[in-house]
Amino acid sequence: MAIERIDVDVTSPGRNFVTAVVTTSDGVVGLGDATLNGRELAVASYLRDHVAPTLLGRDESQIESIWQYLYRSPYWRRGPVTMAAVAAIDMALWDIAAKKAGVPLYKLLGGASRTGLLSYAHASGTTIERLNEAIHGYVEQGFQAVRIQAGVPGLDQIYGVHDSAPGGKYEYEPAGRTAAGAPLRPTEETWDTRAYLRHLPTVFAGVREEFGPELRLLHDGHHRMSPIEAARLAKDIEPYDPFWLEDCTPGEDQSVLRLVRQHSVTPLAIGEVFNSVHDYQTLITERLIDYVRSSSTHAGGITGLRQIMAFAAVYGIRSGFHGPTDVSPVGMAANLHLGLAIHNFGIQEYMPHSETTLSVFRTSYRFEDGLLHPGETPGLGVDLDREAAAAHEYVPAYLPVNRLRDGSVHDW
């Protein structure tokens, strides 16, 4: 059989998503996530204009060969736009293969290595009290791990920090939609690393005091620190037994993690902005990280992410796949199937999609007692209601910009 048609659907049910819809000559449809937050249309064009025409008529079962063709043949390799496009096709082909085999995808990837995937929720609060309220909400839902982000005295708005509604229901979108009539540009925030470094250990102390030693606590530094600042933070939070410190420095400078390692035993997680195994080469071979943060959506699909995890396995490094709302339910399902199958799974980020998103993408994964499971539906187990999706038109939305108090642009 062959690839007969590739559609690229851009939809915005609550936030923007790009989905490749691949149809075979015998009528099987596979879905792949190509969502790149704030740059969605660039990937849609890459797929429509440069990928889809080259794949029509090819044997859809040759997943590895098609991956290599899309990766090597254009000459311009890697990069987030390219790899999100490669990811979408790859996921769709795996979806088709598993649907044809009549099995949930994890069974094609080697079968289940575990009963479920330990997952962590996003808890945050402008104060430690509000943060603790949010954590209580998640603990009641069964979460055994939470990412804790808190406001810093003196700073107005920090990316990823919001108070949750009563009962722990906490929804935010990383990318802010532009208000009608407003200039089409990201919002801006002000940052002060010294204030943050002073405050964060007290946040860990306040949460440990409330919840005791068992709950797993994670924190995302979101690339904001210099190497020596990161080393200090990793050391300062060490007494509170963090599960991980994520993105303590911008990940592209791999060797700086040596400095952080020299000063602490806080586990480190990096990689949500990476897109290939090569981005991890130093980090993995020198064991400078403990968790791989990539998602299938941004790292070349299941084939790309499986390559990274096979390499990481040799060094005892585990997965902590990226699972924010900007990874679509299709990308999330791909992460879950791979996570269930590989031996070196660690933890899965779980930021549930809004009801509007889930009314368009119908999922079969489930969350129970702190564990996610991809479900038993053949394929990825996600359906896209294309008619409903078409009613939600693309809305420009951008991630924020971060500046220091003197106005200079900072990592965020």
Q: Considering only residues 40, 133, 220, 326, which one is a binding residue for Mg ion as defined by CB under 5 A?
A: 220
| Residue among 95 and 349 whose Cβ is closer to ligand CS2 | 349
Q: Which of 342, 243, 348 is nearest to 295 (CA)?
A: 348
Three-state helix/strand/coil letters over 157-187: CCCCCCCCCCCCCCCCCCCEECCCCCCCCCC
Q: What separation in angstroms does the CA of 370 have from each of 189, 288, 319?
A: 33, 28, 17
Tell me which residue has its CB nearest to ligand CS2.
37
CA dist 1 and 110 (Å) reads 24
Q: How far is the CB of 174 from ligand CS2 (least distance, A)?
A: 4
CB of 212 to Mg ion, least distance (A): 26
Q: Which of residues 271-290 bind Mg ion (CB under 5 A)?
A: 272
Nearer to ligand CS2, 174 or 378 (CB): 174
Which of Mg ion, ligand CS2, none does residue 133 bind to, with CB < 5 to 8 Å depending on kind?
A: none
Catalytic residue numbers read 159, 222
Give CA–CA dist 243/276, Å, rounded: 25
Residue 89 or residue 308: which is nearer to Mg ion going by CB? Answer: 308
**DSSP character at residue 352:** P
| Residue nearer to Mg ion on the CB measure, 90 or 220 | 220
Q: Which stretch, 120-128, 191-199, 201-209, 217-225, contacts Mg ion (CB under 5 A)? A: 217-225
Contact positions vs ligand CS2 (CB under 6 A): 37, 174, 220, 222, 272, 322, 324, 326, 349, 399
Minimum distance, C-beta of residue 273 to Mg ion, in the bound complex (Å): 9
Residue 279 binding: pick among ligand CS2, Mg ion, none (C-beta 5-8 Å cut-off by kind): none
Secondary structure class of 17 (helix, strand, coil): strand
**Least distance in angstroms from the C-beta of 269 to Mg ion:** 8
Nearer to ligand CS2, 6 or 84 (CB): 84
254, two tokens: 């791999």
Q: Which stretch binds Mg ion (CB under 5 A): 84-92, 267-275, 276-284, 329-337?
A: 267-275
| 78 contact, one of ligand CS2, Mg ion, none, CB 5-8 Å limit per kind | none
Residue 324 touches which of ligand CS2, Mg ion, none (CB < 5 to 8 A by kind)?
Answer: ligand CS2
If the CB atoms of residues 87 and 245 are measured against Mg ion, the closer one turns out to be 245
Residue type, 288: L
Which option in Mg ion, ligand CS2, none does residue 90 bind, with CB closer than 5 to 8 A by kind? none
Long-range contacts of 112-115 (CB under 8 A, 24+ apart): 112/340, 112/341, 113/340, 113/341, 113/342, 113/343, 113/345, 114/340, 114/345, 115/371, 115/373
Residue 411: burial class (beta carbons within 10 Å; 0-12, 13-18, 19+): middle
Query: Which of 279, 349 has the CB closer to ligand CS2?
Result: 349
Least distance to ligand CS2, CB of residue 371, Å: 19
CA distance 244 to 267: 5
Helices (H) and strands (E) counted in the chain, each on its own, are 14, 20
What 8-state DSSP symbol labels residue 278? G
Which region, judged by CB under 5 A, interacts with Mg ion, from 16-24, 41-49, 103-111, 266-274? 266-274
Q: Residue 191's beta-bridge partner residues?
A: 404
How far apart are CB 147 and ligand CS2 at their closest, in Å?
Answer: 7
Distance (Å, rounded) from C-alpha 114 to C-alpha 118?
10
CA distances, 164 to each of 13, 36, 104, 167 (Å): 21, 26, 35, 8
Smallest separation, CB 82 to Mg ion (Å): 22
Single out the residue of 272, 246, 243, 241 nearest to residue 257, CA to CA: 246
Give residues in contact with Mg ion (CB under 5 A): 220, 272
